Each structure stands twice: as C-alpha cells, then as structure tokens.
Structure 1
Amino acid sequence: MTAHQPISAPVFPADTLAAMAALYPLKAGLLRHHLPDHPLLSIEALAELAESMPASAVEYNPGNVPIGIRPEDVPSNGLSIGETIRTIDTNGSWAVLKNIENVPAYRTLLMDLLGELKSVVEPRTGAMLTPQGFIFISSPGSITPYHFDPEHNILLQLRGTKVMNVWPAGDERFADRREHERYHGGGHRNLPWQDDFHADAQLVPLAPGDAVLMPVMAPHFVANGDAPSISLSITWRSEWSYRESEAHAANAALRRMGLDPAMPPRWPSYAWARSVGWRIARKLRLVA
C-alpha cells in the first residue's frame, strides 16, 4: 500500500470555510478544495485498496440503474472489484469503497482533512465523532440511486464531473418518517423515488476542485458526467446526529406498538427525551 503523502498546504481555503460556516449543518452547498493529485487516490492504488478490503467494505454494480431502484433489484456487473476499478473508463459501473479509515495511510489522510474543518464544525455541533471515509469510482453516465446517509459529509470531486441532486433533510415530501424509521432499524439507505421530485431538487454541479457539503439525512442522487469520476467523501457524526438517529429508532418501536409518532425535530432542537428513553430501553434490553 502506498504510504501517506503529507499535504503541505491547506486543502480547504479560507473562503470555503466561510461558505461552510454559512451552510453547516442544515444546508447543502458548493465548496472548493485544493487536494492535489495524491498517490493514494490513483486508479491503481484504489484497485489495490479494494482488493485488500473485506467484501462488506466494497459495493459495486452497473451504473445504468434507475434513480429509484430497490436494493434487491440492483444487478451484478459480472466483474471483480479490482477489474471494475481498473476498467472503470469503459465498463459502465459504479463502486464505493467504505470505511477507508480502517487502513492506516487512508485514515491519516482522512484525519488531516477533517482537522481543517474543526473550527467550523465544533462550535456548531460539538466534537467530530466517528470519522469515516468513502471513495466513489464511477463510469461515464452512471447513476447513484436516490438515498440518504446518517453522517455529516463533504464530498470532494477529484476526477471527472457529476451533478449532485439534493432535497431538504427532514422534509417528509421527499423521505417519509417511516423511511427514516426503517433505515434506523437496520434497513437499506435507498429511498422510494417519484419523478415529480425533480422540480424541487437543488442541483450542485461538481468538477475537480469542487466539493459539496451534504447535511445529515438529506435525500439525494448523483448523476455522473461523460468521463470517469473519482470522489472522496469525508464524514463524521455528532451527538446531535446520534440523538436524531435514536429518536427515529424510538419512533419505529412506538409504531410497532400501534402509535403514530411525529417526525423528530431537526437541529438545533432534537428529541432529547425520546433519545434518552431509547438509550435506557436499549440498556435494559426492552427493545431490539
């Protein structure tokens, strides 16, 4: 594995930190980065990384899938993960390498990048918990289906172009509270899609040097441009994001009891009592 190459200058310039301060943690928006070509992020380095990872840490499939495809309907591309990455220019696929922080050189890179954001993040949502990194490798024209994620996230575009299509987090028109409950009960991240969602999308075009701030649980899908793409996603959790997750899990338990609980409030408010109740119930093994 290629050793970590120290980054000599800040990756996130001052104007990006200022832009992030105006958005974080509730709004998606365009940022900039100066992450240089890095030996850990070349196609061959990524193929070698993927081949060294457990199967649970890689996900890949054909890239020409519908926006709203169900997880169980996603087909195989018939290749190994190494072949998928090395031939990404022509094989019409999409791949993600998960939890790269488990590899020391990549963890160092991740922590270097997150360290530059602390001055914006920590005054607003507290300590940056559970740092994780994900790398996306996509063929021209590929689609990442409509879904949401539980982390605070900045995605850095390194090669190629794509358009991030984003909807407001916490808006039940685009992700019903039952979808949140299903996900936080262990379900898949993909969401039901309706074509009329397009009218309300926030479009964030990305080229190399661009980045996008993604709020916790903001529904989105990604449309790749006409060239192969590599993107690095740096993520973290906060006490607030964990409490929101616990509130949705508590709601799922209440729904199984025949109740219809309301959608938990978003930051800076949160369902404190519901979250604490969920933690106590888990500790006492009153819920699964």
Structure 2
Amino acid sequence: MTILSHWSNKDRVNYGSEIQTFSHGLQRSGLFTDEALADLLDRHPSHLIDVCTMSDDPEFPSKHCTVDPAGATGAELVEAAKSGAIWINIREAMNRDSAYRPWLEQAYTELEDKTGERARKRNRRGGILISSPAAKVPYHCDPTQTLLWHIRGRKRVFVYPATQEFLPDEAYEAIVLGERDQDVPYRAEFDESAQVFDLPDDILVCWPHTSPHRVENQGFCVSMVMECTTRNSAVRNGTLYFNGLIRRHFGASPSWDKSGPIERFAKSLAGHVLRKLGAHRAHVREDFVRFRLDPGKPSVLAPVPAYIRNF
C-alpha cells in the first residue's frame, strides 16, 4: 500500500519551512467510515477520547470546553458529531489500535523517505478527529511537529506566520509549561496575514513547527492528526521550557529569536533535565467538564456545574 504520491525534490527541500499540501490515500483503508469509527469509539480507552464543544470566550474564540459523553455509544457519538456542535478527538487511536497502526507506520515510513527527516519512534502518535459541521478549532499552536491528514468533508484551515506578533515567546512558554492548553490569544486582524486552505477529501497539509493555526468546518469532517518529535522541535521546546521557568521564577527576559544555536542547545538540555525533575508540576492546568451529552438527543448539550474531569 502506498499512501503519499506526487512529492517532488522541491517539496523535499521546502518541507518544514513552508506550508505544503499533498494528496493521500488513507480513506481507501475503509477505517474512516461512520461504522468503523463507531466501532473504534466503543473499544478505545475512554480516557483517551475527548469530546468538546466551543465556548464564546472573547480572548480565545471557539475555545474548546470538555463534554461528558457518559452513556453514549460509538454510533451515538458519531451521530452527535453529525447533528450537533461537538469535536471528538480519539487520541492515539492510530498508534494504539491494531487495525489502524499499520497505516500510521506506513505514513511515517513514506514521509521520512520523502523528507529525509526522522521522527523519534517513542513519540510517534496519530489521533482521529470527528467533528460537526459547526465545529471550529481555536487559534492555537502545537508543541509537537504536527501534520493534518484530512480524510472526509470540507474543512477550511488558516495558517499564520510563526513570528513574535502571532506567537509571542511568553504564549509558547505557557503551552510547554502546561499552564494552558494550546490556545493562543487571537485578534481578527491576524487573518490578513493567514494562508487559507479549503481542504477536500484526502489532502495532507503541513506547516513549519509552531505556526499558529485555526480551523473552521464547512461540513461533517473526519481527519487524522499526526504528532511527533523531531530534533528541531525538541530543541525549541526544551529551550522555551527553560526560558519560561527563568522568566517566571527569576524575572528574566529571554528571547528565542535573539539566541544563537549554542545557547539554544545548552538551554534545551537544561530544559529537558528540569522537565524530567518535575519543575513544571506547579504549572499544570486542570481540565474542567462544563457540559453533558444527552445520548437520546445527540444535538443537545446540557450545561452542568463545572467539575474536574474524572474519566
């Protein structure tokens, strides 16, 4: 089985430094039909399934709020995504489930052959997103190297420059320290600098590491998100982790842009050591549930008194 095609030498050179799109063949696996996804949801560990809806937070438009899906079957969750306003992330489905794992491994093999960039095997993950026609993903940045393999539906993706204007160091530090999820403060005028892609079925889109992005569905959508750690992403994350700690604890004003490769390498080593020692534990945020899904009425989300997620 071959998943990727039409990859040129120019694409190889530009990978990781430019936004790129490619055709892929994941849909022909038969693993992304409604029925296959419902079966997957029924057997996947519940703590690795996120069901969310969108909030109206003015600073973080469309910020995701956790929904309790207790009692819903896989088929009911798929129906809820079709008729309601929810976003489902089946985390690590592609690397944990035996039916999906060969396709993820093949995708990584082909991508590494075409780009020459190796991902660390222990950090290779693939989640499956099932989302409503009304679903949106807020303006955010992924700390991992992330590729969006869109499979079914119409999806509009906005990708922004990875500069201080769109992603200040302090915002990225908050992400790697765990102070907040991956959301970044957004202003409507940012869209003037975005590259916008309307994705049909079976399109892979990839962008430089740390490029902020957001998504607006144009219909019911199914996608796979590939996440991995590369040498470049590991250095940046370790450095910004270290910078975040010294900014918070010692009032320092470090800068990624003004640092050189030797400084970044040294800070990255120190950051990874401090992470292993648990220096970030005081900063880890908690996930609050704010809605409950009614299995009998898949389009209905009932507000509940906020409580810390326990499932």
Residues 60 and 81 in structure 1, CA contact (< 8 A), matched pair in contact too: no
1:173 corresponds to 2:165:
yes
1:157 corresponds to 2:150:
yes
Alpha-carbon distance in structure 2 between the residues aligned to 1:261 and 1:81? 49
What pairs up with 1:1-288 in 2 under 5 angstroms? 7=1, 10-13=2-5, 15-16=6-7, 18=9, 20-62=11-53, 68-69=60-61, 74=65, 76=67, 80=72, 82=74, 83-100=76-93, 101-122=95-116, 125-129=117-121, 130-169=123-162, 171-186=163-178, 187-225=180-218, 227-255=219-247, 256-263=249-256, 271-281=264-274, 285=277, 287-288=279-280
Query: Runs of 5+ in structure 2 lacking a partner?
Result: 281-311
**Does the residue aligned with 2:206 lie in a helix, a strand or coil?**
strand
- Superposed displacement of residue 70, structure 1: 7.6
- Superposed displacement of residue 175, structure 1: 1.4
Alpha-carbon distance in structure 1 between the residues aligned to 2:171 and 2:66? 23
Query: Runs of 5+ in structure 1 lacking a partner?
Result: 1-6
Structure 1 residues 286 and 60, CA, compared in 2 at 3 Å: closer, same or farther? closer
May I ask how many residue pairs the two structures share in their alignment?
A: 273
TM-score calculated relative to the size of structure 2:
0.78
CA RMSD of aligned residues (A): 2.8
Alpha-carbon distance in structure 2 between the residues aligned to 1:223 and 1:70? 10
- Superposed displacement of residue 104, structure 1: 2.2
Alpha-carbon distance in structure 2 between the residues aligned to 1:134 and 1:52? 15
Structure 1 residues 18 and 233, CA, compared in 2 at 3 Å: closer, same or farther? farther
Structure 1 residues 107 and 182, CA, compared in 2 at 3 Å: closer, same or farther? same
Structure 1 residues 281 and 160, CA, compared in 2 at 3 Å: closer, same or farther? closer
Alpha-carbon distance in structure 2 between the residues aligned to 1:261 and 1:267? 12
TM-score calculated relative to the size of structure 1:
0.83
- Superposed displacement of residue 17, structure 1: 5.1
